[in-house]
Amino acid sequence: MNPLDPQEFRRQGHMIIDFLADYYQNIANYPVLSQVEPGYLRELMPYFAPLNPEPIETILQDLQQHIVPGITHWQSPNYFAYFPSSGSTAGFLGEMLSTGFNLVGFNWVSSPAATELESTVMDWLGQVLKLPKAFLFSGSGGGVLLGTTCEAILVTLVAARDKVLGQIGRENICKLVVYVSDQTHCAVQKAAHIIGIHHKNIRAVKTMKSTSFTLLPESLLSAIHTDVQNGLVPCYLCATVGTTSTTAVDPLGPLCKVAKEYGMWVHVDAAYAGSACICPEFRHLIDGVEGANSFSLNAHKWFLTNLDCCCLWLKDPASVIESLSTNSVYLDNSASDSNQVVDYKDWQITLSRRFRALKVWLVLRSYGVANLRNFLRSHVEMAKSFEELVRKDKRFEIFVPRNLAVVCFRLLPSAVARIGNGRVQNGDVTTEGVANEINRKLLDSINGSGLVYMTHANVGGVFVIRCAIGATLTEKTHVIMAWKVVQEHADAILNH
């Protein structure tokens, strides 16, 4: 057996490419949300792993027959759930090359090109985003590719913690406070938990509908005042550009100003919306980023880069390196000793790391910044069209102003009033409660059709349906069809 026989690699590799090309060709025929029941696959699979080899042909048959039905098709043009996971040929090929080389680029010497290409594309992308020079290698900072935003938050939070504890003493870890809004991604809670910050010291500052669920500087300031009076020490603020529920944009400038007064680390989580900032007309979303310590976006969300690829820029990489550097005799090398190279193992949690830069490099080169901008714009335009369709139907409302390509909408309480009438009069439920129930029912019904897939958010106690446009194959016809599906299912529920 030769598991890396070049001839077999070529033959089987071509088969898989053909399989995937057919998959993309036919993807709209599948139910977007997988309709299988829990445990479906266990019953179809043999109880034991195979002892003897099986041909790829047989394995591919099983893939089509048993695995594909259990897949939710994130690449479907009718996929509007969560945030997009926009794949592309370039992103795929970059991933393939990375997997093909299968190198482990923990430090410079372990594969100089892996490190240097990563530094290059991070500066390229940073320039396209018009990040201040302080975040780039060509300035005094630098960028790194991680797997996910969760890692970016953990990495920056560790650095922030150690910086403050260096001043007040490690025994005072129980005094550190992390600030977020009630819309911030739960990744921050998890990271704080991992690094030993008590959940009591995570301040989820309340946001309001009237200010579009953004974190207000004055609310942050008042939370900090209370904490400081109680002898606590502000450590870290995570501001979000494009929250997961409604794509709310926290005002970076004023928030950074408040944070600076208290010596806090500010991380900007722009996981979804960051990509849009390559367009001059959306760049204002990150105005004020110059006051932050770190900034991250997920290229695997809306930048045609296949999962996984989180871009993190740091103003002061040394503070992260101080917290995360490791030394082991077997890693000794003269390049590292010379201090002339980047050793990315010290910028992340794990030691081993993949050659992710290839993906970003291929995406940027294959499409060019101009096309990437137009691609993002096309999604925003489609979202505008969807929004207009919703507005025309008086049974629905747009719940919060649309920022980019996510539309949050729901059936109005007035439209569903008849259904819950008796129960509202008895005082069993409120009209808002009925609206939540019916909107949930509507969403389940839409997704059960398999024609489209959308997800929900619960903001300020209100259940809203999110239509997130950004799948690579989505065109305007799909968006119009999606709205038709929503209307038909709403008709069925309301006229029942």
Ligand X SMILES: *Cc1c(COP(=O)(O)O)cnc(C)c1O
Q: Minimal distance in Å, beta carbon 238 to ligand X?
A: 9
Q: In this complex, which beta carbon is closest to ligand X, that of residue 308 or of residue 397? A: 308
Region of 452 (left: φ > 0; alpha: ψ -120 to 50; beta: rest) is: beta
Q: Which of residues 340-399 bind ligand X (CB under 6 A)?
A: none
Stretch that binds ligand X, among 39-47, 51-59, 97-105, 145-153 (CB under 6 A): 145-153
Q: Minimal distance in Å, beta carbon 321 to ligand X?
A: 22
483 near ligand X (CB under 6 A)? no
Q: In this complex, which beta carbon is closest to ligand X, that of residue 153 or of residue 419? A: 153
272 near ligand X (CB under 6 A)? yes
Stretch that binds ligand X, among 24-32, 123-131, 265-273, 386-394 (CB under 6 A): 265-273
Q: For 42, which DSSP code? A: H
Q: In this complex, which beta carbon is closest to ligand X, that of residue 107 or of residue 240? A: 240
| Six token digits for residue 133 | 């020079």
187 near ligand X (CB under 6 A)? yes
- Kindly provide the b/e burial profile for residues 292-306, where b requires at least 16 CB atoms within 10 angstroms of the residue's own CB: bbbbbbbbbbbbbbb
Question: Phi then psi for 181, rounded to 5 degrees?
Answer: -105, 170
Q: Minimal distance in Å, beta carbon 107 to ligand X?
A: 24
Report the C-alpha gap between 267 and 80 in whole angstroms: 28
Determine which residue in the list 86, 88, 115, 149 makes contact with ligand X, applying CB under 6 A: 149
Identity of the amino acid at 169: G
Q: In this complex, which beta carbon is closest to ligand X, that of residue 272 or of residue 295? A: 272
Contact by Cβ (8 Å): 157, 190: no
Residues contacting 450, CB < 8 A, separation 6+: 30, 31, 32, 33, 35
Q: Which of residues 38-57 bind ligand X (CB under 6 A)?
A: none
x/- site string to ligand X, residues 305 to 324, per CB under 6 A?
-----x--------------
Q: In this complex, which beta carbon is closest to ligand X, that of residue 88 or of residue 107? A: 88
Stretch that binds ligand X, among 44-52, 236-244, 433-441, 461-469 (CB under 6 A): 236-244
DSSP-assigned states of every residue in 338-375:
TT-S--GGGGSS-S----THHHHHHHHHHHHHHHHHHH
Q: Minimal distance in Å, beta carbon 117 to ligand X?
A: 21
Contact by Cβ (8 Å): 153, 197: no
Other C-beta atoms closer than 10 Å to the C-beta of 280 total 9
Q: Which of residues 238-257 bind ligand X (CB under 6 A)?
A: 240, 242-244
Contact by Cβ (8 Å): 359, 94: yes
3-state SS of the chain: helix, strand, coil percent to 5? 55, 15, 35
| Six token digits for residue 245 | 């529920």
Question: Phi then psi for 86, rounded to 5 degrees?
Answer: -75, 110
| Six token digits for residue 102 | 């299968």
Q: Minimal distance in Å, beta carbon 272 to ligand X?
A: 4
Q: Minimal distance in Å, beta carbon 65 to ligand X?
A: 30
Q: In this complex, which beta carbon is closest to ligand X, that of residue 309 or of residue 419? A: 309
Q: Which of residues 154-183 bind ligand X (CB under 6 A)?
A: none
Determine which residue in the list 123, 250, 269, 397 makes contact with ligand X, applying CB under 6 A: 269
Stretch that binds ligand X, among 143-151, 204-212, 274-282, 324-332 (CB under 6 A): 143-151
Q: Minimal distance in Å, beta carbon 205 to ligand X?
A: 16
User: Which residues pair with residue 205 across a beta bridge?
Assistant: 181
Q: How many residues bind ligand X (CB under 6 A)?
A: 15
User: Could you list the residues that contact ligand X (CB under 6 A)?
Assistant: 83, 148-150, 185, 187, 240, 242-244, 269, 271-272, 298, 310
